[in-house]
Structure formats: C-alpha cells, structure tokens
Amino acid sequence: MSDNGIRPRCEAITRAGTQCKNYAADGSLYCGVHQTLPEPETVTETARPRGEIYIDVEGPSRVNQNGAGQYTLGIENEHIETPVEEFRRHLAKEVEALVDRLQAVTPAFVPPPFTPKGIIELVTQFIERLPDEQSGTALEKLQELLTEEAFDPEFWQGLWFIINYQLQMQVDMVKRRLTGDYVTDDWGYDPEFFDALRPFFDFLYKYWFRVTVTGINHIPDSGRALIVSNHSGQLPFDGGMIMMSILNEHPSQRLLRNLYATWFPTLPFLSTMLEKIGQAMASNENGTRLLEQDELVGVYPEGFKGVGKLFKDRYKLARFGRGGFVKMALETQSPMIPVSVVGAEETYVSLAKSDFLARLTGFPYFPISLRFPWLGLLGVIPFPTKWYIDFGEPIHTDEYEPAAANNLVLVSQLTNQTRNVIQEMINTRLAMRRNVFLG
C-alpha cells in the first residue's frame, strides 16, 4: 500500500488483513517471512475487502493442545481439519484462560485500561449500549478476534469494527427517525430520544452534582406514587436529578413523570424535549390520569416561588401551592413520598429579582445573581455543588376515602404535614452537611 517506489514491498497479506510492510526479497514477490506462500493467483486473501473482519480458519493458524491446558498457536501454513465452531471455542477459551492467568499471578494488580482485562471492560461498556440482538453478534465477532494477545492489530480492527457498527447503528437510527419510524406513548414519551439525552443527565448526576441518595427503598417497584419535593435552584435541575436518581439507584429503574409549569409548553424546543422525556404539564387532570395509570408522578408544590427563591431565603420552604397535589393523591389513593433536595439552592446565588426584566422577557421571574445576567451564558452554568436527595417515609392516603379530596380541612392539613416533613428532612441534612461543594 505504502510503496515508496524504490524497493518493492512484500505482496502478502498478514493475518491482520493488512499488507505486509516488509520489503520483498530479491527475485520474489514476498519477504522472508512469507516466502512459503504460493503464487499470487492462488492467494485468496488479496480478494479480501478492506475492513471486513474474519478469521481464516482453513488458512495459516491452528491450535495445538500440549498437556495441562496450555494452548499455543500453531505455525502458519499448516493445514488442519478442525470444524469452525470448535476452533472458535478453543480460541475463546484461550483468551479467558489468559486473562485469568494474568489475574492469578498478580492478584493485587489492577489492570490498566490497555491490558486485556481493561480492554474487555472497555468493550463491555460499548456492547452494553447495543440492543441485545446486535450485542450478540458483536460479541461473537469480538470473540473471534480476541483470540490472540490483545495487541494484535486484529484486535484493534475488531474495536474499530464495533465502533463502526455502533456508528452505523446511530446512522440507521437517524435515518429511521427521519422517515418517521419510531414510537412515542400517549404523553409523548420517546425512549430513543431519552436514551440519546441520558449521557448528559448522567454527567450532571454523577460528576457535576455528585448526587448522594438515601431512602430510595421508599419508592415502590410498581404501582402509583406521588413524589413531593422541594423546588430550588433558579433552573429546575432538581426534577431531572430526582428522575435520574430513581433511574440509576432504584432496581425497577422507573421513569418519573414530573409535572412541569404551564409556562413551559409555550417555549420552543424545551416543550418538545420535556414531552419526549416523559414529563407532563402540571394540571390536576394530567396528574390524576398519570396516577390512575399507576405511574410515578413528581410534583414541586412550591412552583416558581420555590425555584426563584433568593439566596438569603434558601432552604426555607415557600407555600405549598393550593394543595392540589394532596387532592390528586387522595382521589387516586396514592402514597405521597416526601423528598428533600439539598445542594440545589447553591447552584446559583440569586441576589434579587427584577420584575421589570421579567415582564420584558416574559419570564415568570428574572433572577439577578452573582453571575447572571452579567456573564451571559456563562452565568447559566450551575456551580458544581454536592447534592443530597433524601427520600422519606411515604405518607399513606389510602386510609381516607377518595371523596376526602373534597374535605378542604383534611387537604390543608395533609399539605402542611407534607411541607413540615420535607422541611424537617432538609434541616436534618443541612445539619450534617459541612461543605457546600464537598458535602
């Protein structure tokens, strides 16, 4: 391929499927290593399309078994009659043995990312993201490739193959979506869209806010429940983080249907995005309907009063709406799970609110913070504070009749009870917290 035109290079194709880089011996098409190859007309490898992965079972390599499970690879050009499947199985076993041996010899040794074990982990991560069916074929291909030492070029070819495969899959997905071939549920939830967005949420959850979660067991594996949380942080990251905490920490990995403010449907892109990640607009009808469908629903009764809190008022709960969430829970007999989010209040330091700018921009509130609007978009990046999300004991509503939703005294009583529980949870967590950024 990279013939410099001075001296001819070897014509042979290596087992990695690439052109041999040695110079050809005098008077021959091949280098010293490949001297034993037949004439080019009979070399089938030359017809091999580039980038295609396969192992040449009838060709150069074979397996010899010497005594106690020691596998060594045979010399090239020896012919064997082993069936393809058996051959592959032997090779796969060999890799496994190799990895185990490496671990057995040095137990304290943590494999760096480019040892076989590390690479296998890397590949596993890749494969986990593929659908079952495709990961099966990808693994099979990989097993064929991982037969020798991991530094064999074939391995890298395999890795390239998998990355290519994944890229191809993404291209296919985009193509499919462009022709309208995807599914959404009645609320507009689009699982593929959510999967595409999830790495960003995961990044925020794991690395930016380093969320610590307690009491996740209070969330039921199935059936309806209403998650009631405090609301803070100027931008509603808290809803997303509670959603991610349930997806990442709870065994059922349930999707939390947060109810968002009625202002969001008027915004382009954001309205579509919220709908596609399974959220719904906050209204009594939507909440009740979702609970009746046995969904997990998240409400933030403080609303804009909570998110738009000034820094000096942090962790002081605002009024809990009009108690609409309690009515929803009573009507559908769903347990209410109080949640406290600590850390979100410090993501922005809001010093004042400008009514004038809010009216001018149409925002529900316009925060004047340490960095916003002075630094523009830079002021929108939240401080990487350490977050705590604590799920509390469920407040059961099934001891009341569904008609109790009309009992305004009971509703306001339960509203206050929930608010007090959450305030208490916040206070406990704040007393334990030493540092805003380190926890």
Partner 1 sequence: MSNKKVLLITGVANYWGGRLASRMVKEAGFRVIGIDARPPKVKVEGMDFVQADVRNPALVDLLRLEKVDAVCHLAFNEHRQRSEADFDLNVMGAMKVFGACAEARVKKIVFKSSTKVYGAQANNPAFLPESWPLRGRSSYGYIRYRVEIESFASGFAKQFPDMTVTSLRVANVVGPTHNGPFCRLLRSRVVPRLMGFNPIMQMIHEDDVVEGMAHAVMHDRPGAYNIGAADLMPLVKILRLAHCVDVPVLHPLAYWSMGVLNGTPLKTAQYFPLDVDYLRYRWVGDLAKMKQSFGWMPQHSAEEALAEFVKNKQRSLRKHEELALDEQFLTEAIRQRRQAQAEEL
- Residues in contact with partner 1 by CB under 8 A are 177-180, 182, 184, 186-188, 190, 262-263, 265-272, 275, 280-281, 283-286, 289
- Closer CB to partner 1, residue 187 or residue 366? 187
Report helix angle 153-178 to 116-128, nearest 10. 10
To partner 1, the closest distance from the beta carbon of 289 in angstroms equals: 7
Check if the beta carbon of residue 166 is closer than 8 Å to that of residue 74.
Answer: no
The DSSP-derived string for 347-397 is SS-EEEE-HHHHHHHT-S--EEESSTTTTGGGGGSPP----EEEE---B--
To partner 1, the closest distance from the beta carbon of 381 in angstroms equals: 22
- Closer CB to partner 1, residue 13 or residue 299? 299
To partner 1, the closest distance from the beta carbon of 185 in angstroms equals: 8
CA 337 to chain centre: 25
Tally of CB atoms within 10 A around 253? 9
Structure tokens at 348: 């922005």
To partner 1, the closest distance from the beta carbon of 362 in angstroms equals: 11
- Closer CB to partner 1, residue 184 or residue 407? 184
CA–CA separation, 81 and 146 (whole Å): 21
- Closer CB to partner 1, residue 155 or residue 193? 193
Helix-then-strand count for the chain, H and E: 12, 11
- Closer CB to partner 1, residue 275 or residue 390? 275
To partner 1, the closest distance from the beta carbon of 276 in angstroms equals: 8
- Closer CB to partner 1, residue 189 or residue 391? 189
- Closer CB to partner 1, residue 43 or residue 273? 273
State the greatest distance between any 2 C-alpha atoms of the chain, in Å, as a whole number. Answer: 102
CA–CA separation, 360 and 363 (whole Å): 8
Matching residue, tokens 């709870």: 250
To partner 1, the closest distance from the beta carbon of 275 in angstroms equals: 7
CA angle at 257 for the pair 256 and 260, rounded to the nearest 5°:
130
Q: Is the peptide bond before 373 cis (omega within 30 degrees of 0)?
A: yes
Give SS3 for 313.
helix
- Closer CB to partner 1, residue 260 or residue 388? 260
To partner 1, the closest distance from the beta carbon of 94 in angstroms equals: 49
To partner 1, the closest distance from the beta carbon of 131 in angstroms equals: 21
Structure tokens at 184: 């959404």
CA–CA separation, 365 and 348 (whole Å): 14
CB proximity list for 243: less than 8 A, separation 6 or greater: 201, 255, 256, 258, 298
- Closer CB to partner 1, residue 211 or residue 280? 280
To partner 1, the closest distance from the beta carbon of 290 in angstroms equals: 9
